[in-house]
Structure formats: C-alpha cells, structure tokens
Structure 1
Amino acid sequence: MALSLPVQSHEPGLVPALERRKPKNLVEAVREGSVAASAGLCVGDRVLSVNGAPLRDIVDWRFHTAGEQIELAFEREGDRRFVILDKGYDEDLGLSFADDLFDNIHICKNKCVFCFLYQQPKGLRPSLYIKDDDYRLSFLHGNYVTLTNLKEGELDRICEQKLSPMFVSIHATDPIVRGKMLGRKQPEPVLPILNRLADAGIQIHGQVVLCPGYNDGEHLEQTVAELADLNPEARGTYGGVVSLAVVPIGITQFRERLAPVTVVSPGYSSTILDWAETQRERFRRTLGSRFLFFSDEFYLGAKRDVPPRSHYEGFPQLEDGVGLVRLFLDDLEKVARKLPRSLSAPRSYTIVTGESAAPLLTRFAEVMSRVEGLSVNVCVVHNFFFEGNITVAGLLVGKDIVRVVSEHPEAGETIILPSVMMRDGENVFLDEMTLPQVEQQLGKRVIAVERTPSAAAAAMLGDESVVLQVR
C-alpha cells in the first residue's frame, strides 16, 4: 500500500568491510529427490567449480549447470571433493545457496548529485549504506546500475551469457551532463556501451532521475530522443532500450554540504506530463510502444488521474514506482466486487500510510466501510525523520508512526500498515524499532500486510472474507 521511491543507499565508509566479506557459495538447502540429493550433496558444502569453471555467483552456476553432464568440485569440512552428475538439459540440480553473489558485491564509485545515501542520518542499519553498482544484481533483481565501474571482461560476460534484461541508470545521454550528474570528474558517455549491449541482444530498461536544472529541458529531450533511437523497433534488432522511466529526485532534511538541487513542483509535474504525452503518441506510431514512462509521483504531485492499465504495457518499470497506483486501483475494484454485506461482529481498523498514498488509502477505507460492522479509517503519517519531500510510506520510521497514531482521535482496535516499511523478512523499521515495540507503545494490535487492497482486505475480514486475489 506504499508508493515506491527510487532509493539508492550508499555509504563510502562501509566499502572496506564489504570488500573483506567472505564468499557465500555455501549450500543452504538441498531439494529432496533432486539430482544433487541423490549425489550426496549436503547443506554446508561449499561449491567451488562446475566443469572446471570457477563460480562467481548464481549466474555462473545456472550458466555452467545447464548441460547434461556436470563435474562438480566442492569442499566439505576442509576436504576438496568431486562428483559427476548426469541430468537432463536445463534440469535444476536442486541446490540453493545462502547468497546470489559468491564473491564481493561491486561497489559504486560515483557521487551522484541525487544520491539518497548522502541524505541519510548516521546510525541506521548497515544495509542502508551499501553502495552497490553491480551488474549481476541488475540482471537478478532489477537493481539499476550506472555501468561506470564495468570492466571489459564483465561487459563480455553480459553479452556472452545473455544477461538480459539489464536495468541502467542513464540520467542523460550527453556525456558532460551525465558525468556531472554522477559526480564524476570527466564526461561519462553511455551510448557506446548501450549500443554494444543492444548488438549482443541485451534488452535494457533505462532510468532517468529528473533533477530540475541539471538534466531536464533540452537535455531530457536529447536523452529521450537518443534512447528511442536505440529501441529494438528502431534498430531492427532484438536488443536495445525497450523502456525508459523518469522519476523525481528525493530530498531529505539531511542534505548537508551537497550541491544545491531543486525539487519537482506540482506545476512542473503537470507541464512535463503534458510534454511526455506528446512524446508517447509519437513513439506509439514509430515504435509501436509508448516507451517513455513517468513514475506515479508525477501524477500524484500534479493531482492527475493515473493512466489506464494498458498504458503501462506490462509494467516493466514497476520497481521504479511506475504503475503501482494503477495496480492498486485495479485491485481495489476487484475487492469492492467481492466484499460481504456485513460482519458477524463489529471490527475497527486504522490504516497507516504516508502523505503520497493518502488519497488512495482513503478511497480504500471508504470502500471497506461499506461492509456493515466494519469501520476503517486512515492515519496519514508525516515523515518527521527524513522531512524534505519524502512522503512515501516505505520510508516511514517506527517513532513517527507511534507519534502520529497515538494522537489519532479515531484509532481503531487494530492498526494495519504496509510491510514495505520494514526490512525484508523482518519486523524492523528503518530506525530499528520493531513491530512488537510499536505495538507495545501504542497499546494496540499492529499488522503488517502486502501493499495491496486484497491483502489489507483479507487481514480485516479474516474468516468472513472470500478469496481476494489479483489476477
């Protein structure tokens, strides 16, 4: 139920520690009945190579284990061992690893003018300061990378192993403008490497963090035009830039001793959305695709309705906050059609969200309150921790939630908040407060759910709900 904000977490002080970390090519699980289980592989074994090829990450593992006969070298309790495995082509061996990367994460060497890390306070959990710029995480998880630290051998590997799609932080195609955006001392051309990737059949999703006064105006027009020329339809190839997302810069109160930047205003958002629409109409005619997508923040800031589902063409830039609102609204329509008329006993809930998503959650609360016996209201939490223009729910901290909800006059028996506020797999907020601590201080039950109306409705209705599932 939160709107995503592109956040790049970077902290130079943690780089040495990351570079010293031990490899994580340890077997974490062995699937019962698998080829690996039959061969006697065990949890805790350290896989060293496949057919003599060393393994840097899970990508190497998948690439080298695709064949029908595998010679696997591994280490168990200090002893080096070998086993030959026969399997079907592309059959999974049945091993899971503790980490996707078996060596060190590739660290970002840039000092971007919009970097979120430099706008964070000290004392947050270490993972929020990791300065990653790793092409493997781009392929595996959709992380955006600048490619400025890419070595020739790594570029060859992307092309050879067909690591597609890649998600690339472009920001500007003008080398001088891009170099300035990335905080580099020299120009940083991006078109040559994009062309090489495209020639190798790699599809690319591009990103522009829009910073008024830096890469907007004629620079943005140039960037969009030159990247559109790299679209597969324009090139007549499979590879190329298939989509481009534009997101606004985020600013916090901790932006000290950094280059001055300007936030995207509501009027600015409205003007640039008008411009974008003319570009998309042209691209639909020439490329058969809208190609250019602006994040939800622009529509919310301009107080405009988001486009229909068809506009997003499969939502290729969802992790950049492009289309989350549309998915929310479509899901809400499905929820509204499946609600029961009444509950067997009255219940009351308060939904916690940030300022950006407040209108959406208010609509959701109105729909849910149609159920007789169900009372739902919304508590909008201002981000006192980060301040600036940070208004998304995903960056709210536990202390701010307690501060605002405790003063909310209509707080329900149960508080519902989106799980995106907390660390993956853990009930811990950005400020290290835990969900139980928030519960204790509020004196209320607190439930974390996925950020969809279906998930929130299921949590509220419990046994009296029908199956609420997005199709």
Structure 2
Amino acid sequence: MCLPTGTPVCAPYPQILRTSVGTYGSEIVLNHMKGGSVCDVEPHSLAARLDIQSGDVIVSVNGHPLRDVIDFNYYAGEPLVEIVVQRGRETLRLAAERRFGEPLGVSFAHPTFDTDIRQCVNRCEFCFVAQSPRGMRRGLYIRDDDYRYSFLFGQFITLTNLTEEDWQRIEQQHLSPLYVSVHATELDLRRRMLGKADAPDILTQLRWLAERNITVHTQLVLIPGINDGIHLEHSLTDLVALYPAVRSISVVPVGVTRCHAPGLRAYAPEEAARLLEQVQPWRRHCREQFGVTLVYPSDEWYLLAGRSIPSAAEYDGFAQLENGIGIVRQFLDKWRRLKSRIRRRRHRAIQAKADEMFHEEERSLDKVQGRRQRKAGITVACGQMAAPILQKVCSEMEAIAGKRITVFPVINNWYGGNVAVSGLLIGRDVVEQLRGGGMRDQVLLLPRVMLDSTGKVTLDDLTLEEIECALEVPVVVAQSPSDIWEVLQDGLVSE
C-alpha cells in the first residue's frame, strides 16, 4: 500500500495494561485477556440468540482475532457469523445466520479492549489539556490522539502518530468519516503550531484519504496573530478545494485558561466580528458552488461579536454539534417550536395541566415522585457565554407563565482565562457562587453538558446529591427549553 508522502512509519504502539479513558476520564483497569469483555447484550439481537452473556470475552469473529469494537463490527458484517467466546475457563464457538436488519447487540466494557487510548505526540502550546490547572483526576489530563476514537466517537485527531498498519486498516475497513484537527495547511506553520518538526504534510494525507473515498470533518483552532488572517485564507482555499472529501470546516477560537502559555491570548469582540466578516464570503461561495455552507464558525464567535446566530439551514445537518457548532441555534429553535405549541394548546385547553400539555420528546427531567412538595422559584445556572441567550429565552417564558426565573452566570474560576462555556463548569464553582445567595425555596437547574455520561457527576467529581446537600436546594438537570418550562409549570420541589 502506498502511504501518504512524508508520513513517518512508527513502531507499533505498545499495549498498556492500565489506563484512564472514557468520558471525563473514568478509571478503567484492563487485563491480559485478548478480545473484548461484554458488558451488555441487547434483547432480540444476534448476540441474544447466541446466548452471549455479560462477562463473556469475545475472542474472534469469523476466524479473525479482535483488536477492538471496530474489528467486531467489521468482521461480523457477513450473513453467517461465527463467534469464539471465552466464558470463565470454557471456550465456546457460537454460530448463526444473521437475519436481515438484525443488530449484533453487543456492548463492550471498553471500545478498544485491552489497548490504551493512543496519546498525542505533539507539543502544542495552545493545547487545552496542557493548560488545565493541576488537581483534577488523572483522566482529564490525557492528551488523546487516537484514530479509532475519531471514527467511533468523533474525536479530533492530527494524523501525526499513525503507523503503516493504521493507514492500511483505515483503507481496508474504510474508517469514514474521520475528524481531523488541521489548524493550518501550510506545512511549516502547522509544524510550528504542533511543536513537531517532522509532522507530515496534512494536505498530502487528506488527499490520500479523499482518493479512497474516506471523508473528513476538519477544524481550524485559531490563535490571534498566528494562523488567522492571510493564513486562514490559505487554509480555507486548500480545504474547500477538497470538497466533498472534506465535509465540514469548523473555525474555532483558541481556549485560554489561567495556566496558558506565555503570549497566548483570547480574541477580543472586535476581532471576532472581523473574523465573521472574513469567512462570510467563503460561506456564500460554498453555498452557491456546492449547496452547503461548508465553513462553520463556532457559536462563540457570534456570541463574542454580538452577532445573530445563523439559521438551521446554514448548518447543513449540524455535523460538528459536539464542537460547539450550532448548539445555540438548536436551543433557540427548540424554544420557538415549544413556544408555538404552548400558545396553540393554551388557546384550545386553558384548564389543562401544563406538564401534560407541553411534553416534548427530548426532555430529560429526572423526576422524584411520591414525595411531599412545596412551591418554589427557579434558578438556572449556566456558563457566562450562554447567559445572554438563556436570559432572552427565560424572559419570554416568564412573560408567558407569569413566574420568575433567575439566570445565574457562573464564573469559571477553576479554568479562568476566557473559559466561559457551560460544558466546562465545575461543581465547586457552582456551589461557592450560589451558596448564601438567597436560594431558599428555589429549584436549581444545572446544564446537562457540565455532567458526565451518566448525568450525575461534574468534572470535579461532585455528585448532584452533594450539590443539593451543599446548597440545601433540589437540583434538576436541564438540557432543553422544555426541561426549564416543565419545572416552571410545576413550580414544585420535592422535600
């Protein structure tokens, strides 16, 4: 196989027996067993028919030893599936014909089985992990750069640490799409930004992927005076030319914490406005030429510059929502639709209960039932950046419901700098700033994005119960406008 020109062939990455990975770095202890440990089996699936059980270790599929969940899904994509399972000291060989549309139905304890997450070999001065204050749990300081996690979970990678075997596998198993941190397409500039003098040419790598019909979503993290201005023009020219292999180009401002490298600074509002003016012609061009906007500034630019958020149509399906591209637009549109339903249903049924009238599919309220309740007000905590948008929505809710909502922007003292997003709030900052702040008879709503995958633990390991105890108020997790509206209509607190 012909590798991209300039790509270093690294030694195979060593297998590590202990690591900290997963959402917010949950601790995982690995073992010497090959294959993947099953943690759950979906009912009415192929795995259920084969009587695969939680705790089983799947060793191979159709004769192929397994490295990770990608191998499992790839090799199980045949009409006849034969699976070798280790159950205690017993080895089982299970086989069945896969029915049309039947899910495999296996969840593994760890997506890469007994191999550690691939870590970054670059030394970027703007790396957010490198800027993180010391004192958090170990997993938050892992600088991951793993193509498997890019394919599975949409995590961004730099393509600087791939081995020849990795490139072969990407081609053979057609691992698409991948999410790639480009930052700059000029080779010398990118090498300086990555702190890696032998970093391969990203354009050569992207063209290699394009030739094999592997699509990529890219990001440009901009640093004032480093890779913006004329350098941004250069990068956009190169990346737009690779459409449709390059499916999206996000433009994101650098995050700066209180522990930033000397000379690193955040963008000012007037600079954000100029950036939006610079990329707008590219957005118009791509829309006219390709029918998609392709170049997507993150929400932060619009909020910092005080500009209106683009319409949903301009996000073309929200391919980089997890990267802060279009979250505000989705929130506003959900409120607009909910507000319309509220008005229509109130007109038809004034006397009906609000929580029955205004239920929305995506609400994710954690209700506590069967307890004595009392009337309460609402305080909605959020990051400073989201506060103006949230205040606008909550003011409209107040006008409709005739009830008071307090929006409380929490200052991120832990990370400091320009870190003002809700997703990086820690529990201690919430508690310290709300304690003694007149929270009596209040319900505290916390944003879902500040919690781990379980929806119960903050970045600094505080549980919802611990926050409730510290503030002596009930805590509810809110993800959408309907979550806030339901609490507002209930106006109740469990005692």
Give how far 1:68 is off.
1.3
Partner of 2:23: none
Partner of 2:324: 321
Alignment partner of 1:455 is 2:483: yes
Question: What are the residue-to-residue correspondences of 1:129-168 with 2, within 5 Å?
Answer: 129-168=141-180
Aligned partner (choices 389, 395, 398) of residue 427 of structure 2: 398
Alignment partner of 1:201 is 2:213: yes
**3-state SS in 1 of match to 2:381:** strand
Give how far 1:187 is off.
4.4
Alignment check: 8 A CA contact 1:178 1:188 kept: no
Partner of 2:280: 277
Aligned partner (choices 94, 109, 134) of residue 98 of structure 1: 109
Alignment partner of 1:360 is 2:389: yes
Provide structure 1 residue ranges, at least 5 long, that are not aligned to the other structure.
1-14, 233-239, 465-471
Relative to structure 1, is the Cα distance of residues 111 and 412 closer, same or farther in structure 2, using a 3 angstrom cutoff? farther
Alignment check: 8 A CA contact 2:179 2:216 kept: yes
Higher mean Cα deviation, 287-296 or 408-417?
408-417
Alignment check: 8 A CA contact 2:377 2:491 kept: no
For 2:170 and 2:242, how far apart are their aligned partners in 1? 18
Partner of 1:27: 38
Alpha-carbon deviations, 1:229-284, whole Å to 9, x = none? 1112xxxxxxx1011001011111122xx352121111110011011111212222
Higher mean Cα deviation, 406-415 or 40-49?
406-415
Alpha-carbon deviations, 1:395-429, whole Å to 9, x = none? 11222112222253577511111121122205222
Alignment partner of 1:389 is 2:418: yes
Higher mean Cα deviation, 285-294 or 274-283?
285-294
Q: TM-score, normalised by structure 1?
A: 0.88
Partner of 1:241: 246
Give how far 1:453 is off.
0.9
Alignment partner of 1:250 is 2:262: no
Alignment check: 8 A CA contact 1:176 1:187 kept: no
Give how far 1:372 is off.
4.2
Partner of 2:304: 301
Alignment check: 8 A CA contact 1:67 1:90 kept: no
**3-state SS in 1 of match to 2:270:** helix
Relative to structure 1, is the Cα distance of residues 36 and 317 closer, same or farther in structure 2, using a 3 angstrom cutoff? closer
For 1:304 and 1:99, how far apart are their aligned partners in 2? 42
Stretches of 4+ aligned residues off by more than 6 angstroms: 341-345
For 1:16 and 1:48, how far apart are their aligned partners in 2? 17
Relative to structure 1, is the Cα distance of residues 412 and 119 closer, same or farther in structure 2, using a 3 angstrom cutoff? farther
Higher mean Cα deviation, 375-384 or 72-81?
72-81
Between Structure 1 and Structure 2, how many residues are aligned?
440
Give how far 1:219 is off.
1.3
Alignment check: 8 A CA contact 1:379 1:408 kept: no
Alignment partner of 1:288 is 2:295: no
Partner of 2:78: 67
Alignment check: 8 A CA contact 1:173 1:190 kept: yes
For 2:401 and 2:232, how far apart are their aligned partners in 1? 51
User: CA RMSD for the aligned pairs?
Assistant: 2.3
Give how far 1:374 is off.
2.6
Give how far 1:77 is off.
0.8
Give how far 1:185 is off.
2.7
* Matching residue's letter, 2:19: L
Give how far 1:86 is off.
2.0
For 2:163 and 2:199, how far apart are their aligned partners in 1? 17
Alpha-carbon deviations, 1:326-380, whole Å to 9, x = none? 1111111122223357989964101011110011111121122124453211111
Where relative contact order (Cα < 8 A, 6+ residues apart) is larger, the structure is 1
Relative to structure 1, is the Cα distance of residues 187 and 106 closer, same or farther in structure 2, using a 3 angstrom cutoff? closer
* Matching residue's letter, 1:225: T
For 1:217 and 1:171, how far apart are their aligned partners in 2? 13
Aligned partner (choices 344, 348, 351) of residue 377 of structure 2: 348
Q: TM-score, normalised by structure 2?
A: 0.84
Partner of 1:268: 271
For 2:331 and 2:440, how far apart are their aligned partners in 1? 24
Alignment check: 8 A CA contact 1:66 1:89 kept: no
Partner of 1:235: none
Partner of 1:469: none
For 2:48 and 2:77, how far apart are their aligned partners in 1? 17
* Matching residue's letter, 1:421: M
Give how far 1:16 is off.
8.4
**3-state SS in 2 of match to 1:447:** strand
Give how far 1:178 is off.
0.9
Relative to structure 1, is the Cα distance of residues 322 and 32 closer, same or farther in structure 2, using a 3 angstrom cutoff? closer
For 1:459 and 1:58, how far apart are their aligned partners in 2? 40
Alpha-carbon deviations, 1:166-211, whole Å to 9, x = none? 1111101111111111121334410111111111111111001101
